[in-house]
Chains A and B, each alone.
Chain A
């Protein structure tokens, strides 16, 4: 039997699966409102995701994930709560903030249904219940992946891959991409994903940032749309 594989690899696949119940399939992250303004092509989707990864998901979500993971490793619960609150307050658009909280809470609920004995998972859920934390998705993912012994960089992979797949899935359902283009884009994004993880996962929480005003405006426009398929 090949010894290069272990149970953690299976957990990694499980958490990355688009069937993992966190509701990410229902998010377009502003793509739906962009598609109403402009006729989008394949290259626009790549660019849309790349800007998101470099300007938002990397410097804010991945940083929060890395810090949450380290907080669990060091048993530093106060730092975990700081990562949670810092990211929550950095999300300016209510719709995306709320979607992140919903997905994060469902992620914790799901993981705690099969890893019942991790104290930090329980403590974090209790903190959410008591109003001391929010459960934003990247921080919840940090707690969950640490609880499953998934290495930190690979937790970053789950974050970026999940985001890319959710936007690409939205593009497919909005009729912008066909199924092969979808896979081609995921393939092409590999260097951006790796670069974004390396740049951001060790970043201190005090240096967390995001800057994508165009995307923020798109997401605000999405909030105001009367007719929509996606929650963001």
Chain B
């Protein structure tokens, strides 16, 4: 790992599973603790996610400079862009690393994809995969590289589980089995429920409890 490498979190998941909203919840918590994040958003057919995060996190809340929310087009191949040929993403990451070395971490959102999504280890050091309850409580049991291999599995939209007939206990049990006891967290990205736990995993397992760079340097 090069000395100026900034730790990177890859966030993958199907379309509509809540990746963008999760980032919108994570960044303010990290920011309150003094951690500075850059954001790269891979969009499949638009730059809507990047534009939305720039508006919500940068323009309105001032938590991230606008130039640190970057949208990347994926040529219609979302998992190629983060796994088989991550060169465009790497190029953007390297640019961030050389220009903004004060960042504590970079969040890389994949384009909405299927359950086989994983991140190239050259691109992401920590991999979060997010699904939601609307796919039914069979979702974890159906496996898939994303669900099985990620460092942290998130199950989102738990507030609507009763309305779609998804039993969270079944999901928890199956996730434990298919993930060989790696952690799973239930979240509601809309209200922020459970997101503080996600942030604590990031700080512990990616940043190894390091203090924010700006605090150390001051």
Contact = CB atoms under 8 A, between A and B. Distances in A.
Quick one: which of A22, A26, A230 has the most chain B CB within 10 A?
A26
Interface string A97-109: 0000011011001
Question: Is chain B's interface secondary structure helix, strand, loop, or mixed overall?
Answer: mixed
B77 A26 contact: yes
A23 B46 contact: no
A173 B45 CA distance: 11
B45 to A, nearest CB: 5
Interface size class of chain B, counting residues whose CB lies under 8 Å from the partner chain: 20 to 34
Interface in A9-36: 19, 21-23, 25-28
A22 B81 CA distance: 11
Interface in A207-232: 226-231
Interface stretch (B17-25, B67-75, B165-173, B176-184): B67-75
Contacts of B77: 25-26, 173
B205 interface: no
A21 B46 CA distance: 23
Contacts of A109: 90
Interface in A43-101: none
B90 A229 contact: no
Contact of B87 (A23, A170, A173, A227): A23
Contact of B75 (A22, A106, A110, A173): A173
Contacts of A27: 75
A229 B45 contact: yes
Nearest to B72: A231
B84 interface: yes
Given A226-B46, A228-B46, A229-B45, A26 B73 contact: yes
Contacts of A23: 85, 87-88, 91
A106 B94 CA distance: 10
A103 B81 CA distance: 13
Given A226-B46, A227-B45, A229-B75, A21 B91 contact: no
B127 to A, nearest CB: 19
A28 B45 CA distance: 13
Interface of B: 44-48, 72-77, 80-81, 84-88, 90-92, 94
5 contacts: A25-B75, A102-B87, A105-B94, A173-B77, A228-B47
